[in-house]
Amino acid sequence: MSKTLTDDQVRKRLAALDRFKQEAINIGVWDLVVNVSKGVNGRIEDWPAAIREPIEAAIARDCIPKPGWHVAVVASGCFQDVAWEPCYIRVIVQEFPPIVRH
């Protein structure tokens, strides 16, 4: 059996959806890249604290989300484009809106 919404409930839900759409257009994404002397395997959760902690501090310092939103690492890795160049760590951070509950 489906639930019937009142006109007021429908208007509120549509207004919330419109606000979310407007905010989603401007979602913040940060791309952090740092050269390192030695490569590391895996994702940020797997890296030694000596590497992970400065990156987490940089995220907290530089990746400021909109009020009420939060940031999270969506991708991370250590790369080396060519053998004679240094390795680099790349971390992609994105902001996410609060979860809307009705």
Helical spans, DSSP H, in the chain: 7-25, 49-62
Grade residue 57 by pLDDT with cuts at 50, 70 and 90: very high
Whole-number percent of the chain with pLDDT over 90: 24
- The answer as to whether 71 is a domain residue is yes
**Residue 71 or 102, more confident:** 71
Exposure string over 43-67, b if 16+ CB within 10 A, otherwise e: ebeebeeebbeebeeebeeebebee
**Model confidence pLDDT, tens digit, residues 22-54:** 666 678 899 999 888 888 888 888 888 988 888
Beta bridge partners of 32: 91
- The answer as to whether 12 is a domain residue is no
* Domain carrying residue 53: 27-96
- The answer as to whether 73 is a domain residue is yes
- The answer to whether 93 and 33 have CB atoms below 8 angstroms apart is no
- The answer as to whether 64 is a domain residue is yes
- The answer as to whether 53 is a domain residue is yes
Is 46 strand, coil or helix? Answer: helix
pLDDT at 56: 92
Please, what is the average pLDDT of the chain? Answer: 84
Grade residue 102 by pLDDT with cuts at 50, 70 and 90: very low
Could you give the number of structural domains in the chain? 1
Task: Please determine, for residue 1, whether its predicted confidence score (pLDDT) is greater than 60.
Answer: no
pLDDT at 73: 93
Is 86 strand, coil or helix? Answer: coil
- The answer as to whether 75 is a domain residue is yes
